[in-house]
Chains A and B, each alone.
Chain A
Amino acid sequence: MGDHSHGPAKGLSRWLFTTNHKDIGTMYLWFSFAMFILGGAFAMIIRAELFQPGMQLVEPGFFNQMTTLHGLVMVFGAIMPSFVGLANWMIPMMIGAPDMALPRMNNWSFWILPPGFLMLASTLFMEGGAPAFGWTFYAPLSTTYAAPSVTFFIFAIHALGISSIMGSINIIATVMNMRAPGMTYMKMPLFVWTWLITAFLLVAVMPVLAGAVTMMLMDIHFGTSFFSAAGGGDPVLFQHIFWFFGHPEVYIIILPAFGVVSQIIPAFSRKPLFGYASMVYATAAIAFLSFIVWAHHMYTVGMPVAGELFFMYATMLIAVPTGVKVFNWVTTMWQGALSFETPMLFSIGFLVLFTIGGFTGLMLSIAPADFQYHDTYFVVAHFHYVMVAGAVFSMTAAVYYWLPKWTGKMYNESMGKIHFWISFVGFNIAFFPQHFVGLAGMPRRIPDYALQFADFNMMSSIGAFIYGASQILFLYNVVATIVGGKTVSDEKVWDGAEGLEWTVATPAPYHTFEVPPKIDPAHAHS
């Protein structure tokens, strides 16, 4: 790692060869924002085509490429790397460590990502087009019936999988070995806890995804029949493997978001988190349950009734620890001294909308009702409430919350609030009506629809454009802050904020905690 005393190197080589957790975190955050814009552009094409019934802008085949790439880019390119970036920036500062445990691997795990996504994006220009089989890529549509670009898709998935696994190994190694003396596990900030559990989930299930795509590769090129009935395989096996990865994956996305709001809500309530220990246990319980509920994505494949019942009951159980979390946040706010700066607004937005997404999730868990909901826009509405209003809102909250610490500059508060309100309103105009069209019978992943769905789809498209446009405001606000924001120098930017990251100078120096901080043993968790 060389000499710690100097600052960052100059020019491009700073970014290419950096092993500094803050540099790498920054790169992750910018990369994920770029992917967010790219995936958002795909979404705009989808919503533009769906603005009115009839085919207007794109062909059905291309529409499917858009839905597929939108899902893949948002999940693997925007949300996951953004939280890895946040982890890189914050975890060492939160546990009093000088850097991540494996700085060089940290560099590699980031730099695998851009080529991986370049490969994925390049499929758009290949013969036969990009993958068009949905982000869930069910066989045999993704094997026997896929465009040749599927091979590049498979290697792209391998690349991001390796990146994620390396990133999570690093996070686990850091949390387990680099905590400052006195920073016991039950003193760690919740963000660190949720990330630790997420990282274990990633190490456990990203290889499963890699296995699934490897089997696809073998079926396509080497004559095996994992997923083809002709050779004794079974396309439903693909779904089981995919969702064995896929269900923990949705918690991989949402758990760090839980961590973020668990930092922000107490800060702006000026009151400690109500039940720290129960939050930790609830997170662990959700992580455990995520391994035994995967087939609730497959109620209609024709499972034996005993299987349906098992997966239904197990899925319903997830409502208990999730409820514990929501009740904890609300009780934390109860009798606090609340103030509503942008991070708090996004956290409250998260809390309200994620809870709605949780309710629809509970509805979806009921197998007989799911026969009607499955693969309709009701599902699309549900997972956008948890992914966008859940993960993306909390990520946005995190950026506003820690931006002053990262840059030493204060963002424009009123612009931040406007960003929140446009996002919140736009999001709800976009996604709330999708509940209605889904219940009324509109299947998902269709480029054109029957006339009775027209009004709500138009509304939904308008909302999506509003939400999309609000991100430009976000970008502008962040850039304007970095370039010319009002300087802040207080270590503790927010009066209610707790935690070691608020004890270092603002902006956070290139190297922090080269000497481990002293943790007051009497002081509870932060």
Chain B
Amino acid sequence: MSFKKIVQAVASATLALASNFTAAQENQLNMARGVTELGSEIYDLHMLILWICVVIGLVVFGVMFYSIIFHRKSKGYKPANFHESTKVEIAWTVVPFLILIGMAVPATSTLLEVYNSDDAEIDILVTGYQWKWKYEYLDEDGENISFFSNLSTPQSEIYNTQEKNPNYLLEVDEPVVIPVNTKVRFLLTANDVIHSWWMPELGVKKDAIPGFINEAWTIVPQEGVYRGQCTELCGAYHGFMPVVVHAVSQAEYDEWLSAKRADAEAQVAMASMDLSLDDLMSKGESIYSGQCVACHGANGEGGVGKPIAGSAIVLGDLTKHLGVTTKGVPGTAMQAFGSQLSDVDIAAVVTYQRNAFGNNTGDIVQPSDVVSYKNG
């Protein structure tokens, strides 16, 4: 194949690809401006430096391509023999240095803004887990609200058996909800390995480190749903722990908060009740599809984790089943769900596992069974 043909082939492939981009939005090419003041400050800084680099690049490449085009041996150009010029060399040391100072000034002021530690109205403790986020709203009276936020994209979309929805991999079962125009402080830590909490449109990225806390803040001026991801490699499912923030009006936030409180109270009440098999099964199914399905499969057939269908543990002694569920299996991806799920949830999911996928044991596990198991 001649060189020309190759270039043509590559060019046409590129063009074909480029035509796909007609529907592309602007933010596929560049950083999003961000909705927060800080986010747009960072964006402006990014653009400033980008343009400085582009201009310097044009000058340098301009000179270079001028030589490439005009100073060719094939055109009979006779080489000059100059070298070493102290004046030129001082100039190209000093001028870049001055440009750098010009960049450092806005960079410093933006950085100081990132580190602003004025009081916030809402403090949220964000804890990274393999592979989900836990959010805990700190309350002055000690009545903290806390919940886990799991990827809600179904396995069928990930494994291409179903069409992917527009928020593929950027959707969770429970987003963080914050009111607009309110300073929110995020305190970040991790339970196991290092994670990193990134919300591109808010201009926030901070590592969550086990044993230590970091903080970041935001004031979101605009209602909306904002999406980000974990940005520190944290194990096999690093790509599957998105961050979703709902910014809502103060009224909606208050409503959400009291609903959450009521929910928490209902959970406490339920823990002492006896639930029916149907209730446990339907609750169990939703927990299974959120927590277990990634490793154990939609039909309990297993995958990364062992199969649930026909499993000796699931069909066998309840104590062992509860043990594995609450304490996990050290050295494997099986986590200790005892601290991640409520007693009601554990009762429900264990009941579900013992009765679904052909495991028709007929066992009903009540929240009280989980409590008495935990208490030894």
What's the least CB distance linking A251 to chain B, in Å?
A: 18
Query: Is chain A's interface secondary structure helix, strand, loop, or mixed overall?
Result: helix
Q: How far is the CB of B336 from chain A (nearest CB, A)?
A: 14
Contact of B193 among A145, A274, A331, A466 (CB under 8 A): A145
Q: How far apart are B186's CB and chain A's nearest CB, in angstroms?
A: 12
- Quick check: is A104 within 8 A (CB to CB) of the other chain? no
CB-contacts of B1-21 with A (<8 A) = 3, 6-7, 10, 13-14, 17, 20-21
Q: A84-123 toward B: CB 8 Å interface, digit per residue (1/0)?
A: 0000000000000000000000000000000000000000
Q: Is the CB of B209 within 8 A of A235?
A: yes
Q: Mask for A398-421, Cβ within 8 A of B = 1, else 0?
A: 000000000000000010011001
Interface residues of A in 351-378 (CB under 8 A from B): 351-352, 355-356, 359-360, 362-363, 366-369, 371-372, 374-376
B239 in contact (CB, < 8 A): yes
Q: A309-B111, A450-B170, A462-B13 are in contact. Are A337 and B89 (CB under 8 A)?
A: no
Select B304's contact among A59, A276, A466, beta carbons within 8 Å.
Answer: A59
Residue A275 contacts which of B28, B77, B89 (CB distance < 8 angstroms)?
B89
A274 to B166, CA, bound (A): 55
State the CA gap A425–B13 with chains docked (Å): 12
Q: Are the C-beta atoms of A369 and B49 separated by less than 8 Å?
A: yes
Does B67 lie at the interface of the complex (its beta carbon under 8 Å from any beta carbon of A)? yes
- Quick one: given A445-B233, A446-B239, are A320 and B49 in contact (CB under 8 Å)? no
Looking at the complex, which one of B28, B49, B160, B235 makes contact with A362 (CB distance below 8 Å)? B49
Q: Say whether, besides A229-B212, A446-B239, A334 and B67 are in contact (CB < 8 Å).
A: yes
Q: Which residues of A contact B83 (CB under 8 A)?
A: 271-276, 332
Using Cβ atoms and an 8 Å threshold, which residues of chain B touch A140? Answer: 192-194, 210
Could you tell me if B168 and A443 are in contact, using CB atoms closer than 8 angstroms?
no
Residues of chain B in range 34-66 having any CB-CB distance to chain A below 8 Å? 41-42, 45-46, 49-50, 53, 56-57, 60-61, 63-64, 66
Q: How many residues of B are counted as interface, with CB atoms below 8 angstroms from the partner's CB atoms?
A: 106
**Chain A: which residue is nearest B204 at the CB level?**
A371
A363 and B53: CB pair below 8 A? yes
Contacts of B266 in A (CB 8 A): none
On whether A355 and B239 interact (CB within 8 A), knowing A336-B79, A336-B80, A451-B166, the answer reads: no
Contact B239 A448 (CB under 8 A): yes
User: Which of B96-104, B315-323, B348-356, B359-367 lies on the face that meets chain A?
Assistant: B96-104
A208 touches B (CB below 8 Å): no
Most chain B beta-carbon neighbours within 10 Å: one of A140, A334, A372, A436: A372
Find the B residue at minimum CB distance from A54.
B160
Return A241 CB to nearest CB of chain B, in Å: 15
CB-based contact A53/B164 at 8 Å: yes
In the complex, which of the residues B25, B85, B166, B205 contacts A374, with contact meaning CB atoms closer than 8 Å? B205
Spot the interface stretch: B68-76, B177-185, B246-254, B282-290: B68-76
Chain-B contact segment, one of A24-32, A321-329, A386-394, A475-483? A321-329
Q: Is B231 an interface residue (CB 8 A)?
A: yes
B325 at the interface (CB under 8 A from A): no
A-B contact pairs, 15 of them (CB 8 A): A61-B236, A236-B209, A277-B84, A302-B206, A320-B93, A356-B57, A363-B53, A367-B111, A369-B46, A372-B200, A439-B29, A446-B229, A447-B239, A452-B25, A466-B10
The 6 closest A-B pairs by CB, nearest first: A229-B211, A446-B239, A302-B214, A359-B53, A337-B73, A61-B236
> Interface on B for A, CB 8 Å cutoff?
3, 6-7, 10, 13-14, 17, 20-21, 24-25, 27-32, 41-42, 45-46, 49-50, 53, 56-57, 60-61, 63-64, 66-68, 71-74, 77-85, 88-89, 92-93, 96-97, 100, 103-104, 107-108, 110-115, 130, 157-160, 164, 166-170, 192-194, 196, 198, 200, 203-207, 209-212, 214-215, 227-240, 304
